[in-house]
Structure 1
Amino acid sequence: MSSTFLYGFHVPANGIRHHLLRYGGKGPKLLVVPGITSPAVTWGFVAETLAQHFDVHVLDVRGRGLSSSGPELDYGLDALATDVTAVLSALDWQEVTVLGHSMGARIAVRAAAHMPSRFGRLLLIDPPVGGPGRRPYPAPLAWYIDSIRLMAAGQPWEELKRFSPTWTEAQLRLRAQWLHTCDEKAIEEAWSGFHNDDVHANFASLTVPGLLMIAGRGGVILDEDAAEIARLAPGLKQVVATDAGHMIPWDDEAGFFRLLGQYLNLSFHPEGA
């Protein structure tokens, strides 16, 4: 199968440089906002398949990949959400489908709650639902920082096996190549935000419809969390990827696209699934 990748480019918005990768180029706009240590390129295999039906753009969240980085930047959730709405405004996109994974889903929820006119639909993939007074996020901060430091020191990709033992060699090699671009301050502030930022208020004010996909083996969203979100945001359809951990497309690519396709009423054909 030939690649649907077109090019990468930069957008100045919210006072910094944002890097995006474009796939497909046909169909309605879809923006992917990745998770805490996932530069845009690591979502390429998902974007390749999404591009069968969408004009897909994958964002390097600030402090990751080729977007602006550095100790002087604010990496809090409000800044990240403003980045997304500022990028959409700079590109003059309206009613965009936004797919966010993990941290990226939290960003999408807050951004859509603050500027719903730019969003047509949300595809939220296993967002952390912690916050003040809630249980801690199941992955410790050291899991992220230790792996970043190993790759920043040029250690071989095999060192990542103990962090992600179910991933393929190709997935680990790509992560090893790009993990060093994740700024430690950005990761620390995002992880702290999983515990300190209240996204439940954003769920309660959502007017944008969408999908909430829950990892059946992730331990991030429990049954009681799903029930609470259902009360707060009845416009989100909930589905469970029963055979996947938190990194759903990596654990069960076929299942991920099956659930996504059922919601979107589209048929996806991932090359590797």
Structure 2
Amino acid sequence: MTSNFLYGANVHANGIRQHYLRYGGRGPAMILIPGITSPAVTWGFVTERLATRFDVYVLDVRGRGLSETGDALDYGIDTCVADIAGLAAALKLERYVLAGHSMGARFAIRLAARDSRHIEKLVLIDPPVSGPGRRAYPSNLAWYVESMRECREGADVETMRKYCPTWTDEQLRLRAEWLHTCNEKAVIDTFNGFHEDDIHTDLPKLDVPTLLIAAGKGDVILPEDEAEIRHLNPSIDIARVNGAGHMIPWDDYEGFFAAFGTFLGSRLQDKTTAALATQRVKQLQGA
């Protein structure tokens, strides 16, 4: 079975080297921004299906994966948003769907609120709704820091299982291989930004078709948060994957794609890509 993965590449944009993975190569463009400790490669099993309909570029956010890193870099939300805009410009993407998970969704909100000229549609996957004067993000910073430190020393599947007990061996193996690439300062700065940056002031400014996909478990977006988002911007479509935690496609792969409905056109619910994801993981491990 043939993979939709095309290649990985680097561009110089917003003053740094940015690495991305490209899948599909056909259809409308999509930029996918992963979460706080998710290098682009860990989203391959999701992107394989998206790439049946879209030309998908998955970004290694600065300080993660193979993009530029180091303690001297700025990891604030506005700088990372400028990275995304710079990437799109460097790739000459005039129009694109912008999708982001967790941290990536917060970046997507800020970018679309400030300049949506190039954004066709917006997909927000369980963005943290913490901020100044709000309840804390439910994940613990130590969980991230300790798992990254173990991976820097050399971790295996069993090491990762204690942090992500519901994941498959393939998913755990990929995380063990790549988590060490996440810069500790980048992750700490981002985590602090979850509590310091106010994305709620951006939500009323969103003027492109927007879908929010919320996890039914994990307490990132509670029913009262959903009600506030609807109040701030009634045009936002909201779908909830009831059986999934914050890492939605890891917990309920088919439920994740079902949540899109027809937002991106025809439904994304075909069952042809699970084998492709496994194949791609094996290719990366053998590289």
Name the SS for the 1:10 alignment partner: strand
Question: Identity of counterpart residues, as a percentage?
Answer: 54
Tell me the CA shift for residue 210 of structure 1: 1.3
Q: Which amino acid aligns with 1:127?
A: P
Match in the other structure for 1:75: 75
| 1:190 has 2:179 as partner | no
165-174 or 198-207, larger mean C-alpha shift? 198-207
Determine the C-alpha separation between the residues in 1 that align with 2:263 and 2:241. Answer: 13
Tell me the CA shift for residue 172 of structure 1: 0.2
Name the SS for the 2:19 alignment partner: strand
Tell me the CA shift for residue 155 of structure 1: 2.5
Asked whether the 8 Å contact 1:85–1:115 carries over to 2, the reply is: no
* 1:122-152 CA distance string (max 9 Å, x none): 1100000100000001011000010000010
Determine the C-alpha separation between the residues in 2 that align with 1:16 and 1:95. Answer: 23
Match in the other structure for 1:64: 64
Tell me the CA shift for residue 264 of structure 1: 2.2
Match in the other structure for 1:272: 274
Match in the other structure for 2:138: 138
Name the SS for the 1:239 alignment partner: strand
Match in the other structure for 2:85: 85
Gap regions ≥5 residues in structure 2: 276-287
* 1:192-251 CA distance string (max 9 Å, x none): 011110000111211122100000012100111111111112221001001100000000
Gap regions ≥5 residues in structure 1: none
Match in the other structure for 2:227: 227
Aligned length: 273
Asked whether the 8 Å contact 1:21–1:40 carries over to 2, the reply is: yes
Match in the other structure for 1:9: 9
Task: Report 1:40-59 matches (<5 A).
Answer: 40-59=40-59
Determine the C-alpha separation between the residues in 2 that align with 1:39 and 1:138. Answer: 21
Match in the other structure for 1:104: 104
Q: TM (normalized to structure 2)?
A: 0.93
Determine the C-alpha separation between the residues in 2 that align with 1:172 and 1:33. Answer: 20
Name the SS for the 1:117 alignment partner: coil
Determine the C-alpha separation between the residues in 1 that align with 2:222 and 2:208. Answer: 23
Tell me the CA shift for residue 95 of structure 1: 2.6
Aligned-residue RMSD, C-alpha: 1.1
Q: Which amino acid aligns with 1:50?
A: L
Match in the other structure for 1:199: 199
Q: Which amino acid aligns with 1:265?
A: G
Tell me the CA shift for residue 254 of structure 1: 0.5
Asked whether the 8 Å contact 1:125–1:212 carries over to 2, the reply is: yes
229-238 or 99-108, larger mean C-alpha shift? 229-238
Name the SS for the 2:201 alignment partner: helix
Name the SS for the 1:188 alignment partner: helix
| 1:245 has 2:237 as partner | no
Tell me the CA shift for residue 181 of structure 1: 0.2
Determine the C-alpha separation between the residues in 2 that align with 1:35 and 1:237. Answer: 21
* 1:17-48 CA distance string (max 9 Å, x none): 11010001000001110000000000001111
Determine the C-alpha separation between the residues in 2 that align with 1:262 and 1:145. Answer: 38
Asked whether the 8 Å contact 1:94–1:120 carries over to 2, the reply is: no
